[in-house]
Amino acid sequence: MGIHSNTAIFGNVGIIAIGDFYQCSPVASSSIYSTLLWCDHFEYVELKINERQKTNASFSQMLNRIRKIKKKEDMSKEDRDMLEKCYQRFLNKEYHPEALHLFARNAQVDIHNEQMIEKICTNIRIFFEVNNNDKEIKANDKRETRKGGKPLRLAQNARVIITKNICVNDGIANGVTGRIVGFVENDNKGVSHIIIKCDLSKVGRLHRVTCPHCHEQNTICVIRESNTIDRLECDSQSKKGTKQFPLRLSWAMTIHKAQGITVDEVIISTKDLFGSGMGYTALSRVRTLEGLFLIDLHVNKFYCNENVDRVLSQMKVMKKKSLIFQESPQFLNILFHNIEGLKNNFNAFKNHHLTEKAHFICLTETWLRDNTNLNKFVINGYNLIHKSRLSSFSTSHPLNSQKGGGIATYIRETFPIKEIQSNKHLNLEHITFEIEKHNIVIITCYRSPQQSKNEFLINLTQYLKEIGIEKHIILIGDFNENTLSNKSKTIEKQLNILGFVNMFKDLATTNSLTSIDCIYSNFISNKDEHHSVVGTFYSFHDALSFCVNFENKISNVNVDNKLIVENEIETENLFEKILDVPQIPKKNYKRKTKSTERLQTHHHRRKLFKKDTNRTKCLKEKQILFLKNLKVIRDKNVLEKFSNELNLSQQLGNIGLKIINILADGNCFFRAVSHQLHRHERDHVNIRSIAIKYLIENGNEFEYFIDEQYTTIENYITRMSRNSTYADHLVILATAIVLNKNIIIHELGKMPILIPGSDFIEHQLHICYHPDTLHYDSVLSFDDNSAFLSTENILIT
């Protein structure tokens, strides 16, 4: 199973991140919250129960106060007195001799660990790194071209920590602690395995099943590994690098290394704390105040990163969402998804949180064949019905020999149903069954883009009449007709005539913000159902969840006899339009429209769509003039008295403006506009959406200005609709128009260009453009107010 799109944020994968921003930040890199990804794409909830210190309320309250103490703020006398007692207990040596010591720096850690191994252990062994020939690399060996790392000094009964992710699923991971209980020697009397008893007995359960050294011993063993954090990364480096046992002595460790662990006793040195959150992180490792000992006490070293409050205030608070699926027996829960390959995506689909709550799971584009072993796709508690594309179309139909397609339905075993088979070969991909107890028919259907809409509608209408149009019917599927488009929607129109209403009519159901997946019904009103679009990371399509109340369902269908008569006429007309089943071409050849033809079409359409109001007409002329002159503007626009020594920040600074950095993810223009409007970037999706809607509604105005790479306005809109697609001049102009703002673009060495969206010069949004990286940033004045330039300082077309 792979990530469906590599342009979406986080590969379109849902992420749950658990942690505490107030703990110490990484040593060698910036904090995880330093990127605006957190503000734009994460919602947060604060967990209220302190599990580690829940039995010691006063200690927990003290930690919460120290957690948020500011650098120049005095610690309360109460908290200082509590810490002073921890210092006195250390002086009285009330701790266990092998209690964990925490230091800020590695040098202090090494000194303590060496003292402890000399004090506690005998027969200390020294382990050097080895090369690819398993020869030891020593510091004084002149034959080795690369310098070996510091040798390990280990012994039986030594406390150690694992420094590599060996098998995360089995708990054998970086940070796991334990004690050495033995060594396994090879034929050359060298050590091949080191046997460890971990502090947590659950670590290594899978390892012990197959390991001859650890079987039934409650231990694990490690071998020499390449020098990477994760074993999955080691294959590419093992041929070139050295190997060493992934262990380190652990009577002491750095505070950074100790993040995440829980102990009964800890001894901490505070004199060398060097960063925000370090003191709080160290103190909070222990369960009770009585288990805390301080080697020294420097209260001025306890302080938080004050940016954390600001970051959390900008993040969206997670709101509890109402459940779509209801567990009451009076509700019917349906999940529909165009899965784009059941074989590749089965595990992800099976483990989706809604799957086990649905009574019926309807799938299209399973891509399975008649000879596929369906036992591989069984879900406990469900019966599976599948129908391949081959079995859905006659041998003479072009789609019979085409790959893809396929319909599947998973039915909860507790739901008795009757499958309905047509007595005709309809050339229609569908599965139909009836819930006899409630007299509801459910049809799952798929129309390939290679099947004409007319043929599909004729076959579907015939089938609906065959099973009884007067019945309560739920029609589910992907019909490959975008209901959000302004173009003619033949399928939707015909189904509306038959009395069917699309419950997902106004909702985008794909990554490209189209709505081609649908659930129609001829008996359900909106007040009787709950529905939602559910994101998935493995398919271009989102899933649709749908819940209907049996008790409140309307007794009569939405169609009357008059509509049925009208529909018969409509169907007869459809029959007249189809003479032969269309042949599917091997390739899709599209003639490129000549520029003269496009120009003539453009002028023709402009006559058809000419506006009446003077203001709109005037504004349109300004915008068309801008588009016509854009190339000339770009070529001749040079800032007078410009120094090559200036950068863009300095250029803007000369006129009292500054750059506000915007996340570079392909949505930067829309993020910058969002920042101009709201002082945050979160509204970029909505801004792109309304700009695209404007382009769809006024496409004829822009078609003449489409670049050769797109050939048509439709292709351009399809591309610009995608998340993380860089904006160009057309969509920027559309954004200016829908927002009724003049967008001022600043660029190094050039005079700011006005992109016209408003008749009023004071309606300005300021963006700067970096052509080398195709990136946009927001621009404000020095005092953080909105920027403004007079007409003499702006290039106006």
Per-residue pLDDT for 335 more than 60? yes
Fold annotation for 331-577: Deoxyribonuclease I; Chain A (3.60.10)
Question: Average pLDDT in the 427-434 region?
Answer: 95
Per-residue pLDDT for 455 more than 90? yes
pLDDT at 552 (0 to 100): 63
Question: Average pLDDT in the 622-645 region?
Answer: 74
| DSSP 3-state percent helix, strand, coil across the chain (nearest 5) | 30, 20, 45
Q: Report if pTM > 0.85.
A: no
pLDDT at 558 (0 to 100): 58
Per-residue pLDDT for 573 more than 90? no
pLDDT at 413 (0 to 100): 93
Q: Which residues, in sequence order, are bridge partners of residue 795?
A: 753
- Under DSSP, is residue 185 helix (H, G, I), strand (E, B) or coil? strand
Looking at every residue in the chain, the average pLDDT score rounds to: 84
The lowest-confidence range among 10-14, 33-37, 444-448, 651-655 is: 33-37
pLDDT at 6 (0 to 100): 52
pLDDT at 34 (0 to 100): 65
Q: Which CATH number fits domain 611-793: 3.40.190.10, 3.10.520.10, 3.90.70.80, 1.10.3720.10?
A: 3.90.70.80
State both tokens at 777: 């940033």
Residue type, 499: G
Per-residue pLDDT for 65 more than 80? yes
pLDDT at 570 (0 to 100): 45
d(CA 737, CA 717): 16
Residues 124, 152 contacting (CB under 8 angstroms)? no
User: Which residues contact residue 55 at a Cβ distance below 8 angstroms, ignoring those fewer than 6 apart?
Assistant: 287, 288
Per-residue pLDDT for 374 more than 80? yes
User: Which residues contact residue 479 at a Cβ distance below 8 angstroms, ignoring those fewer than 6 apart?
Assistant: 445, 446, 447, 456, 491, 516, 518
Q: What percent of the chain has pLDDT over 90?
A: 52
Q: What percent of the chain has pLDDT over 70?
A: 84
Question: Average pLDDT in the 226-242 region?
Answer: 60
pLDDT at 8 (0 to 100): 64
| pLDDT tens digits, one per residue of 49-64 | 888 998 899 999 999 9
pLDDT at 638 (0 to 100): 73
pLDDT at 187 (0 to 100): 83
Per-residue pLDDT for 562 more than 70? no
Higher-pLDDT residue of 407 and 625 is: 407
Domains 331-577 and 611-793 share a fold: no
User: In this structure, what DSSP letter does residue 740 have?
Assistant: T
b/e 42-74 (16+ beta carbons within 10 angstroms → b) = eeeeeeeebebbeebeebbebbeebbebeeeee
Higher-pLDDT residue of 153 and 796 is: 153
Per-residue pLDDT for 488 more than 60? yes
pLDDT at 463 (0 to 100): 94
Per-residue pLDDT for 371 more than 70? yes
d(CA 77, CA 57): 18
Higher-pLDDT residue of 268 and 549 is: 268
| pLDDT tens digits, one per residue of 605-630 | 333 333 333 433 444 677 877 888 77
Domain range list for the chain? 9-99+263-299+306-317, 103-256, 331-577, 611-793
Question: Average pLDDT in the 17-46 region?
Answer: 77
d(CA 796, CA 752): 9
Query: pLDDT-derived band of residue 108, with 50, 70 and 90 as boundaries?
Result: very high
Q: 392 burial class (0-12, 13-18, 19+ CB within 10 angstroms)?
A: buried
pLDDT at 281 (0 to 100): 95
pLDDT at 523 (0 to 100): 86
Helices 684-697, 668-678: axis angle to 10 degrees equals 110
pLDDT at 30 (0 to 100): 67
pLDDT at 569 (0 to 100): 36
Query: pLDDT-derived band of residue 586, with 50, 70 and 90 as boundaries?
Result: very low
Q: Which of 18-32, 96-110, 778-792 has the highest mean pLDDT?
A: 96-110
Question: Average pLDDT in the 298-311 region?
Answer: 89
pLDDT at 209 (0 to 100): 93
